[in-house]
Each structure stands twice: as structure tokens, then as C-alpha cells.
Amino acid sequence: MSQLSQRPEKPVVGVSMPHESANLHVTGTALYTDDLVQRTKDVLHAYPVQVMKTHGRILELRTEPALAVPGVVRVLTVADVPGVNDAGMKHDEPLFPDMVMFHGHAVAWVLGETLEAARLGAAAVEVDLEELPSIVTLKEAIAAESFHGARPLMAIGDVDAGFADSAHVFSGEFQFSDQEHFYLETHAALAHIDEGGQLFIQSSTQHPSETQEIVAHVLGLHSHEVTVQCLRMGGGFGGKEMQPHGFAAIAALGAKLTGRPVRLRLNRTQDLTMSGKRHGFHANWKIGFDADGRIRALEATLTSDGGWSLDLSEPVTARALCHIDNTYWIPNARIAGRIAKTNKVSNTAFRGFGGPQGMLVIEDILGRVAPLLGLDPMELRERNFYQQGQTTPYGQPVLQPERIAAVWQQTLENGGVADRKREIAAFNAAHPHTKRALAVTGIKFGISFNLTAFNQAGALVLIYKDGSVLINHGGTEMGQGLHTKMLQVAATTLGIPLHKVRLAPTRTDKVPNTSATAASSGADLNGAAVKNACEQLRERLLQVAASQLGSNASDVRIVEGVARTLGSDKELAWDDLVHTAYFQRVQLSAAGYYRTEGLHWDAKSFQGSPFKYFSHGAAAAEVEVDGFTGAYRIRRVDIVQDVGDSLSPMIDIGQVEGGFVQGAGWLTLEDMRWDATDGPNRGRLLTQAASTYKLPSFSEMPEEFNVTLMENATEEGAVYGSKAVGEPPLMLAFSVREALRQAAAAFGPGGVSVELASPATPEAVFWAIEEARRGAASQDGPDARDEFAAVGQASNGQTTNGQARTDAAVLSGA
């Protein structure tokens, strides 16, 4: 077993415990960034001047009327920027734009004594705009060839030869929806300036170091003059990986110019209309199978909706490409990626970071073609699982393919899937207007940042002479339980009870150059850095203990806060040990560091081994669908997730449950709509509130929900044998979508391919049922959901002969 993965005697990792802030969360005493405002004197409030047009050139911006509003202190415009007028890392995101690029773009910010004064001031600012034509939908962008950023191409094998020896070839198109993060805490920042001109910014950010970097470049400062702290976030989900920087920079600029603390917090409508979302995608695809239903070749073009600026669209699109294989071996592939430039918010990271979008494409394909191949979808999926010795289309060997099959098999057993499929068949035979279906899908999700440099982390661990321990690390807490795990890691490595360890809020002046808490790698990276720091301290303390106990350091163990020597009953309590060490002048602080070994990635050739390991899981979902309305219920879900040896099982189960439900929300309920008409509100986000944007809640939870963590799953390459958990379970929700497709199909004659829009709202399911009833789903027609257009379109004008469509779908080489 590796040094990194080995657990000592009586480890604190692996013990189920509640989130370290659970009590604070549920009693309302946990402090979030904006809660600090009440505790701060003389705070100014910032309010955006949003232009409610979708595209245009700013001819003039008149701020004087705002200054006439009582309580308005200052209006921030581009003229105030001492450094670089850019809120991003790509230099395509002016903090104060001269072009309005999306509906609701903020072009200036007003500072007021009260929020209301700032709001009235913002309303008084006058903007003259020369309106320009806009591109709102992905289809419009594709037609206009409006793209930005990289155009990656991932290729392996010989695709043409693969198609030539395929027995069945299908092609199709699929477009699916974006998703709003809807974290409970909206974007927030609070900036202070001290007597030396140093800035201290409290920010709800997943990436404090980058927030610091952007604030510094906007203000023309060096990084050591700017400190960013994140107490915790009320959810981030990727939405606070890059988007907080500009807001923090506005608050910091205001503080610098006025000398007073400045607070910026978006209200929900502002957050919804100004911040980026999960990328919706469009996919064109062609797939070839041999006579046994094994994939021979896949050709696809994935187009992500990047919105107006690049933000994280390039790595998101790259991750989509890297996940189009999911758990399936594709020997010959040619997959192109491109990023549409549209007049919408700048789309960004969202749990899974493009992975879900890539995987959705292949799962949709398999769900659509299984009936055409005459195979049960489960059988088709199983036949294509990776086997030992096979590599991904980007050239990384899949080292634990047996886990793909193992979690799948265990899911079938836990869910009693074979029996239930029989019960469902009987139920369906007896119920013409209600159908049930059960679908099983699996996941393989790569862990690590594609950008190799991000795969490093630091920690600073302090032991005070009373024996108490304070840890600092570079990761941020957004509800995922990272801090809980870090406390458990520190207690385990030092050999002390958990209550001896506390954790300090994440700050850039404790650990420099940290990576975003993202890519699910927070615990892997920071855990290994905390462990490294604690190991250094333990080594020093073992020397001290050895001299006290009269033995060799290598024979001393510290377990549950007591140092003992092998073969002796002498003991030394932790507090005494630390006290002694202090008087012997032994250094009681240590900086830890970790870098993930063995990664390489060539973004140009799109080849390499960018991931330390893959995360695996499988889910079986049963749904019941009403044939009159398309309304449905999720009756039961069984999940088996591979988290290695869990660092904190209760936290991990919570992550699996939460991720799954968030995925089910994206795929079934959350229906983001943009006005794509030529009317006066073109480009406006129509779903601007919880009243129109439907989020999953308790009523949408599966009626029976069983989550099991894979056992004996030690991961050699990660801290204490664990695996990442944050994002992968989101993609288990494909099982719900596939179950809905199969239930819709059950209304029809069978053997028919059913297209299902995404999100599969009851309306979309209804149209899928209609298709199935007519036995007429097509393989080459447009996707059922064409942006803002009616969902029902795909059901119009189709042929009524399923077989005819099926034949038409079987192209060359058949």
C-alpha cells in the first residue's frame, strides 16, 4: 500500500460524522460573507447599472443624474480603473464594458449609503446604446459560425475504417439545456482597505487565489497587497469558480476609491441574469456498431454555448470531449469541439464541468439506438464496458475497468433489478395508461484538473503549546464537507482526537497560489497537503516522545492522543508532549505541500493521461409515467458509488444524494428559457426566479432512495485510500432520463427508438409518449427541444411507420 493511502491505527478518517458546521447551518448562526455587513461600520452598498438590451455599443454613459440622488456616494466607471479593465483570465471580459454583450450586462456600478440609494442611483444612470443584431440560440450561432476559443479535436484509431466494418450505422442530432446553479447564497463580496492601502476582501469564491489575482490586476497592485478570505459559501457548484472575481474587484475598487468598506451582494434576479450557467450543448453524431452491438466508431461534433466571453468554456468543452466515452470502449473516434459565442451570460463551471454534457451525448445515443439494435438498453451498455488493457479516445489507459462492472453488478443486486423488471412488465401489461420502467446507467469520471499545474496544493498547520491544533489549507468550503474531511485527515495523521483540531477560514495570506476548489479534487489535493504538514510535525514530536519514553522514535506511536512505545507501558499524553517540545524549542508549525504525480496532458494533440484515476458508480432508477399528461414520479433509486475508502461516509453519502438530485433536476425539471423571438425582449432570460425555474425539492426526491458506497475500494493514489465524490454522482441521474425514455416507449409497439428532449419535463415526456404511440420516432430528425421553440415540434409531421424510420436510420455499411 502506498504511503499516501495507508491508514494508521484507529484513524479518524472513515468515521461517519456530521458536517463540521452542521449545527451552525441549521441554527442560522453560520456566517456567510454578506452576514459580515451587519458587523461592519460605514459600509457602502454597490448596485449594478444593468442594460436591458442584448447587444449594442455604448455611445454615452451619463452618471451625473445618479450623483444627484440622495445617498449616492460615487459611480464607478471604466475611468476609475487604475490597472487592467478585465474581470477574467482570458482578457475578453472587460469589467466595465464599452459593448453590451448580453441582456442585463452591468456597465457601471453605483455606491450608496444604503442599498436603496444605490438602487435609485443605478436607475438614474443614462446609457445611450447603438443596438446591434444579436445571436441568442446555439443554432443561430452555428448558422452564423459565431465561435470563440479553441477548436479541439480528439481522434483515435481509424474512424472511416471503423464505419466501414460496422454492421449498423446511425446518426443524429441532440441539443440539451443549460442549468442554473441556484446556490442559496448569491454572489457576494465585502472589501476593506487598511491604513497602508492593503485590501482585504471577503468573497464567496471557490478560487480565492484567482480572486486575489484579478483584484490585483484591476487595481494595479501586487498580489501581496491583496488578501482574499472565504469563510464558507452557501453553495458554489462551480458557479463561484470564476464568476466572483469581477464582483470582488468592484467592491475592492470602491473601497480603494472611497476608503470605506464596500459591500456587493447580488439579489436573486441579478444573480440569475448576470452570472454564467452550465453550458447547454448541441451535438451531431454518427455511430457504428458491429453485429453484436459493440461500438466500432463514433464521430461527433460537440458545440457548447459559451455565452459572450470565454471564462471556463475551453476547459469545460475539453472535459466534455474527454467524457463522451463514459464507461464504453470506443476504438475509433473523431470528436470535434467548439464553443459558440452568443449574446448571453458567460457560461461557466457547473458540477461535472462539461463531463455530464459529454456523457449525456453517448447515453442518449445508446438509449435511442438500443431498440433499433434489438437489444435491451442494459445489455447494450454492458456489452460496451471497458475491459482491461483498453484506453480512452485521448489515450489514457482505463486501469480499473473491473470497477465499472462491479458497481453495476452490485446495483443490480441491491435494487433487485431482475425481479423488478418482471414486475414492471406485468404492471405495464395490466395498465394501458400508466407505464413504469427501470433503467440502469453507470459512470466513469476522470479526477484531476486537465490543466496539470492546478494539481498542487498547500497547507499550514500550527500546533499551539497547549496541544491544540489549527489547520489552514487552500480549499474552500461550500457545503461539500471538505473542512470536515480535512479535520479528520489532520487528526488521523497526528494521532489525536478530532476535538483537538480546528480549522481556520480559507485565506490567501496563509497558503499562496492555491487552485480552485473544484474538479472534485479538494480533498485529494488539500488532504494530501494537510497530511504532509502533519507528518512533518509528527516526525518532530516522535523524536521528543522517544527521548521522554527512552526509546527509538521509530518505535513510538501516537494513537488517540497518547504516545506509547512498543513493548513498554510508559505513556505520554499529547498535551504534555507538545508542551515539552515547545520547551525543547522544537518548531510547532509546518507548511505542507502536495503535487499529483504521473499526470500529463497535451492540449494540442488532445492526448495524454490527464486524470489520476477514474471515479465509478452506477444507478438503477424506476419511474412511473402517466400517459395522459406525461407527469411522472421517481419510484425508487439504488446507487452504488466508488469513493475509494471513504474519508467521511456520512458526508460522502450526502454528496451522492445531493449530486444525484441536482443531476435529475438538470435532466428533468430545470427548464431554462431565453427569449429567442424578434420581440423587444429578445435575449432576455425568461426564467428569472424560482417561480418559473423549477428546482428539485423534497417532493421530487425518489420515493425510495438507497445509496451504498463500494466496499474494499482502496485507491492507492489518493489520501488515505479515498476517492473524490463531489461531482461524479450528478451523472448517475442519466438513469432517470433513460427510465423516462423507456417508460414512454412502453406506450408504443416496442422496437421503436424514442427521442426525449432534455430536460425531460412532463411536457417533453408527453411528446415522447406520442411518438412512441405512433411508433414513429426518428433517428435523423431534429431534437424535440429547439431552444425557445415549442417542445411539441418534433412530434409533428413524422411518419407513422416505426420500421420505415428505423430503416432510414440505418445508413451505409449496414
Specify the residue, 245 or 485, whose C-beta has the smaller distance to ligand MTE: 485
Residue (of 702, 732, 682, 719) closest to 635 by Cα position: 702
* Identity of residue 397: P
**Shortest gap between Cβ of 225 and ligand MOS (angstroms)?**
27
CA triple 559-561-563, angle to 5 deg: 65
# residues contacting ligand MOS (CB under 6 A): 10
- Whether the CB-CB separation of 254 and 219 falls below 8 Å is answered with no
Cell of residue 292, nine digits: 453484436
The interface partner of residue 622, options being ligand MOS, ligand MTE, none and the CB cut-off 5 to 8 Å by kind, is none
- Please state, as a whole number, how many other Cβ atoms lie within 10 Å of the Cβ of residue 254: 28
Pairing verdict, β 501-503 and 469-473: parallel
Residue 149 to residue 203: CA distance in whole angstroms: 28
> Which residue stretch of 348-356, 361-369, 616-624, 687-695 sits at the interface with ligand MOS (rule: CB under 6 A)?
348-356
Cell of residue 308, nine digits: 459572450
The interface partner of residue 523, options being ligand MTE, ligand MOS, none and the CB cut-off 5 to 8 Å by kind, is ligand MTE
Specify the residue, 34 or 770, whose C-beta has the smaller distance to ligand MTE: 34
Strand partners, 312: none
Residue (of 657, 652, 615, 625) closest to 638 by Cα position: 657
* Helix (DSSP H) and strand (DSSP E) numbers for the chain: 20, 29
Please provide residue 375's backbone torsions phi and psi, each rounded to the nearest 5 degrees.
Answer: -115, 145
Residue 347 to residue 767: CA distance in whole angstroms: 29
> Which residue stretch of 59-67, 347-355, 673-681, 770-778 sits at the interface with ligand MOS (rule: CB under 6 A)?
347-355
**Shortest gap between Cβ of 349 and ligand MOS (angstroms)?**
4
The interface partner of residue 367, options being ligand MOS, ligand MTE, none and the CB cut-off 5 to 8 Å by kind, is none
The interface partner of residue 482, options being ligand MOS, ligand MTE, none and the CB cut-off 5 to 8 Å by kind, is ligand MTE
Give Cα 529 to chain centroid, integer Å.
Answer: 23
Give the residue, chosen from 238, 377, 644, 748, that forms a contact with ligand MTE under the rule CB under 6 A. 238
For residues 255-271, b (16+ Cβ closer than 10 Å) or e, as one string?
bbbbebbbbbbbeeebb
Residue, CB closest to ligand MTE: 522
The interface partner of residue 478, options being ligand MOS, ligand MTE, none and the CB cut-off 5 to 8 Å by kind, is ligand MTE
Specify the residue, 728 or 781, whose C-beta has the smaller distance to ligand MOS: 728
- Please state, as a whole number, how many other Cβ atoms lie within 10 Å of the Cβ of residue 42: 9
Asked if residue 353 binds ligand MOS (CB under 6 A), the reply is yes
Pairing verdict, β 434-447 and 632-641: unpaired
Residues 492-531, one symbol each (x = binds ligand MOS by CB under 6 A, - = not), give --------------------------xx------------
Residue, CB closest to ligand MOS: 238
Map the footprint of ligand MTE across residues 336-375, applying CB under 6 A.
Answer: 351
* Identity of residue 334: R
Q: Which of 382, 622, 727, 770 is catalytic?
A: 727
**Shortest gap between Cβ of 735 and ligand MTE (angstroms)?**
19
**Shortest gap between Cβ of 726 and ligand MTE (angstroms)?**
3
Specify the residue, 306 or 728, whose C-beta has the smaller distance to ligand MTE: 728
Which strands form 632-641's sheet, in the order they lie side by side? Answer: 434-447, 613-626, 632-641, 704-709
Local structure of 640: helix, strand or coil: strand
Cell 509528527 appears where?
Answer: 538
Give Cα 341 to chain centroid, integer Å.
Answer: 21
Asked if residue 666 binds ligand MOS (CB under 6 A), the reply is no
* Identity of residue 365: I
Return the DSSP state at 163.
H
**Shortest gap between Cβ of 354 and ligand MOS (angstroms)?**
9
The interface partner of residue 107, options being ligand MTE, ligand MOS, none and the CB cut-off 5 to 8 Å by kind, is none
Residues 596-635, one symbol each (x = binds ligand MTE by CB under 6 A, - = not), give ----------------------------------------
* Identity of residue 200: F
> Which residue stretch of 19-27, 179-187, 344-352, 479-487 sits at the interface with ligand MOS (rule: CB under 6 A)?
344-352
Residues 209-248, one symbol each (x = binds ligand MOS by CB under 6 A, - = not), give -----------------------------x--x-------
The interface partner of residue 324, options being ligand MOS, ligand MTE, none and the CB cut-off 5 to 8 Å by kind, is none
**Shortest gap between Cβ of 181 and ligand MTE (angstroms)?**
8
Return the DSSP state at 75.
E
Residues 455-484, one symbol each (x = binds ligand MTE by CB under 6 A, - = not), give -----------------------xxx-x--
Specify the residue, 227 or 655, whose C-beta has the smaller distance to ligand MTE: 655
Specify the residue, 278 or 540, whose C-beta has the smaller distance to ligand MTE: 278
Q: What is the 3-state secondary structure (H, E, C) of 667-709?
A: HHHCCCCECCCCCCCCCCECCCCCCCCCCCCHHHCCCEEEEEE
Please provide residue 96's backbone torsions phi and psi, each rounded to the nearest 5 degrees.
Answer: -115, 100
Give the residue, chosen from 95, 287, 310, 349, that forms a contact with ligand MOS under the rule CB under 6 A. 349
- Please state, as a whole number, how many other Cβ atoms lie within 10 Å of the Cβ of residue 155: 17
Map the footprint of ligand MTE across residues 498-527, applying CB under 6 A.
Answer: 517-523
**Shortest gap between Cβ of 654 and ligand MTE (angstroms)?**
7
Which strands form 126-131's sheet, in the order they lie side by side? Answer: 99-100, 56-62, 126-131
727 is catalytic: yes
Asked if residue 237 binds ligand MTE (CB under 6 A), the reply is yes
Return the DSSP state at 128.
E
- Whether the CB-CB separation of 675 and 788 falls below 8 Å is answered with yes
Residue 714 to residue 710: CA distance in whole angstroms: 10
Which positions lie near ligand MOS, rule CB under 6 A?
A: 206, 238, 241, 349-351, 353, 518-519, 727
Which positions lie near ligand MTE, rule CB under 6 A?
A: 235-238, 351, 478-480, 482, 517-523, 655, 658, 724, 726-727
Active site residues: 727
